[in-house]
Amino acid sequence: MKLDRLLTGIDIVAVTGTINGDVSDVCYDSRRCGDHSLFVAISGLKYDGHHYVDQAIDGGASYIIYEKDIPFHRDAVYIKVKSSRRALGRLGRNFFGNPTAHLCLIGITGTNGKTTVSYLLESILKTAGMNVGVIGTINSRYGNEIHQSLITTPEPIDLQRLFRHMVDAGVSHVVMEVSSHALDQFRVDDCAYDIGIFTNLSQDHLDYHHTIEKYYVAKKRYFREIIRNGEKMIINGDDPWGRQILRETGGSSTTFGIDRQCAVSAGQFDLSLKGIHADITTANGNFSVSSPLIGKFNLYNILASVAAAVKLEISQDAIKRGIEQLGNIPGRFQKVNRDDEPAVFVDYAHTEDALRNVLENLARFKTHNIITVFGCGGDRDRGKRPLMGKAASDLSDLAIITSDNPRTEDPLEIIHQIESGVRGGVVEKVSLLTNGSRRYEKGYIIIPDRREAIVTAVSIAAPQDIILIAGKGHENYQIIGEKRIFFDDTIVAREALDKRRKETMS
């Protein structure tokens, strides 16, 4: 593509050289630059691309976009812009031919529920006969293509490239998760959204945003600066932050909820460990739906997906069948046990609000004990650690505090910070807890090794107990130091259940 055409719409401060050359590719990682490529120097959280301009030129880059002053001692065209990050999004859109203009694009943002809503909408849209692509925390997928995700929302170049592949493959509708990091870093500003969904907001990512108010501002700009059309907005009317978005953005947004009067709501509903049955009310009529998904928070996710489907004029029959055909979602309240075993669920809950929601929903079904196995990630928001400890101890009969992804932090120090929020009795020995004929003394134990923690929970559980393994969900690894080690909560739990079954039968 011609450089002058590629630069359309970019706020240029200065140019050193001529802009009539041909650009073979756009890259933000200097190691991926090829001949005649354009390198965008971005100031990241760990690395500053301005320090890697020479490496990009060594790799073949002929054009450099930058925002900080740099030396011009190499042969290249240098283009200074006001914001490299903002330029990257527009470059991606231009280079790949504005692919979202040819898609029906649905974005989902919020602290919890993004992945589940994306799976629900994918199922509904496929049931309605649409060719669907999904971009999210677990993976990106369309047709026969499945690519594991490293981050929830890709960088603009990767995102626009993926959109182009989807368009070329005949995809008509794309459902994507939109993270607060992506919003703050302008990754999705050059996407043409048809619908934007807000699920909820609670404390998370404060290592990045610092305050929940700034976290909210990142979410709000999705609707105020990117969607910019109330008709395209679908907002959780029960969530106080959702109501604040409604007040501050204006427009005739569609709301969903249970406790307040909303455009899409649930009348009578029944929640059990077998799933959800609910009567759904919409402006286009009412219908009943049954889903194997569990818990009130999943009823909210169903309502969000229904609201979007109604907005897209999907038939009521396709909405109902799409919801009912969707089974387990990887790592989202995922059932691991067989019917004759203690109930074991794996969930991605890694915030206080998410953990409390899951445990409050499980409490509806408890007949004996709730055992929670959880930890907190290292090099992430430290403020939520004691809050998660308190949530687990408040709502569990036994909390087993263990490691999550400690990364470069000391696992025992993370556990100590979690422990500071725990209230209740301290249980020192697991041997005191093996009597399944009565409730445990309320308390917690510390087992730093995650495998041992899961195995212990399964081995001491009474048949009527419920076990929640929280924090990692779909992830099939642990990050310890700089190393990523294979570890899957569902596999470890299933192995522990199989061992328990063999020991019981022998």
* Domain ranges in the chain with CATH number 3.90.190.20: 334-505
Find out if CATH 3.40.50.150 is the number for domain 334-505: no
Residue burial 175-209, b: 16+ Cβ < 10 Å; e: rest: bbbbbbbbbbbbbbbbbebbbbbbbbbbbbbbebb
Identify the burial level of 431 via C-beta atoms within 10 angstroms of its C-beta, where 0-12 means exposed, 13-18 middle and 19 or more buried: exposed
pLDDT at site 432? 45
pLDDT in tens, 92-132: 999 999 999 999 999 999 988 999 999 999 999 999 999 99
The C-alpha atoms of residue 9 and residue 444 are separated, in whole angstroms, by 57
* Domain ranges in the chain with CATH number 3.40.1390.10: 3-95
- As a residue count, the chain comes to 506
* Domain ranges in the chain with CATH number 3.40.1190.10: 99-325
pLDDT (mean) for 344-350: 93
Find out if CATH 2.60.40.10 is the number for domain 99-325: no
Using the predicted structure, report yes or no on whether residue 38 has a pLDDT greater than 80.
yes
In three-state form (DSSP H/G/I as H, E/B as E, the rest C), the secondary structure along 363-416 is HCCCCCCEEEEECCCCCCCCCHHHHHHHHHHHHCCEEEECCCCCECCCHHHHHH
- pTM assigned to the model: 0.87
pLDDT band at 504 (very low <50, low <70, confident <90, very high): confident
**Helix, strand, coil share of the chain (percent; to 5):** 35, 25, 40
Sheet holding 132-135, edge to edge: 145-148, 139-142, 132-135, 173-177, 104-109, 195-198, 233-236, 254-257, 264-272, 275-282, 285-291
Using the predicted structure, report yes or no on whether residue 431 has a pLDDT greater than 70.
no
The CATH number given to 3-95 is 3.40.1390.10
pLDDT at site 52? 96
> Which of helix, strand or coil describes residue 243?
helix
pLDDT at site 443? 85
The C-alpha atoms of residue 369 and residue 355 are separated, in whole angstroms, by 17
**Least confident among 31-35, 275-279, 325-329, 427-431:** 427-431
pLDDT (mean) for 51-69: 97
pLDDT at site 439? 45
